[in-house]
Amino acid sequence: MTVEMSVEVGGLRLRGPVVAASGTFGYGTEVPLLERRALGAMVSKGIFLRPREGTPPPRIVETPSGMLNAIGLQGPGVEALIRDYAPQWAGWDFPVLVNINGETAAEYGELAARLDGVPGIAGLEINISCPNVEQGGLYFGNDPRAAAAVTEEVRKRTDLPVWVKLTPMVTDIGVIARACEAAGADALCAINTFVGMSIDLNTQQPRLSFRTGGLSGPAIRPLAVHLAHQAARAVNIPVVGIGGIFRADDALEFLIAGCAAVQVGTATFANPRAIAEVNDGIAAFLASKGLPSLSDLHRYLPRD
């Protein structure tokens, strides 16, 4: 039985529901082992307008069933991205979204304008887990108004599909989700990493040079499933589930919880074939249940 795996997510038709998550797949040029046929789409490493050096080492630390990272959004800046990577992407058979980052809503808008219409760039993912310098460093994603402002600014400056990637450390993710939907997002991605800290007993200082880092991996999966479910219940646009997906069963939890697609991040570090295995496992599950297509999967979305 062949299963129809394609899915429409926020203005993009993906051949399958498994997307490579930002920051865990570089610019798509590094991982040679991956079976690319399984990629629904790819989100590039987060980019700023200008080049960024990133944080000093140590940048990562392993934790129980997870890892903390503080890369500091190292990257070449948008011009180099357009020059060096977009032309390669233009030839690929899956869409590439660029993960955009800024310190002010205006910076996000400028990025959107610069990337609009560039061949090879199929869409934008707004990373709102960035400190808002105009609001004293509070994350954009923590405040529905700031999140909406960024989304609106980007929406105005581009015709590309706009996905907004939500931050998990908020009191009510539904409020932020609705604010972004109202501001013009085509899809939401839930969730980014949780802020965590690990202390080195020898130095009695944080292990990461940046002190805190973002927690990813299976440790956060139950939290991510809950938050993606809450977001999916709150809005009418598609939600892409992210957080600790290592195997097809994990992805299916998000899909059943109401997500249209999923992103796989940390898993790729442990298993460079993870995306292919997740994709194929979802197809096998659907086939075993006699479901002809992904869209026939039961979504668990009670609106009580």
Q: Return d(Cα 176, Cα 165) in angstroms, integer.
A: 11
50-79: contacts with another protein (CB under 8 A): 53-62, 65-67, 69, 71, 74
| Smallest separation (angstroms) from another protein to the CB of 181 | 31
Strands 60-63 and 41-43, sheet pairing: unpaired
Between CA 188 and CA 186 the distance in angstroms is 7
Residue length of the chain: 304
Provide, rounded to whole angstroms, the least separation between the CB of residue 23 and another protein: 7
> Which 192-211 residues touch another protein, going by CB under 8 A?
200, 202-203, 209
Q: Note whether 251 and 243 are within 8 A (CB).
A: no
Among 14, 19, 45, 132, indicate the residue that binds another protein (CB under 8 A).
45
Smallest gap, in angstroms, from Cβ of residue 72 to another protein? 9
Say how far apart CA 280 and CA 289 lie, in whole Å: 14
Question: Would you give the DSSP letter of residue 127?
Answer: E
The answer to the question of residue 279 lying near ligand FMN (CB under 6 A) is no
* Angle between the N-to-C axes of helices 173-182 and 144-157, in degrees from 0 to 180, rounded to the nearest 10: 30
If binding is defined by CB under 8 A, does position 135 make contact with another protein?
no
Exactly one of 40, 46, 123, 218 binds a second copy (CB under 8 A); that residue is 218
* Count of chain residues binding ligand FMN (CB under 6 A): 24
- The residues in 257-286 that bind another protein, with binding defined as CB under 8 A, are 266, 268-273
Interface residue with ligand FMN among 10, 16, 28, 46 (CB under 6 A) is 46
Neighbours of 24 (CB within 10 A): 19
Encoded amino acid at 236, one letter: N
Binding site for another protein (CB under 8 A): 23-26, 30-33, 45, 53-62, 65-67, 69, 71, 74, 200, 202-203, 209, 217-218, 266, 268-273
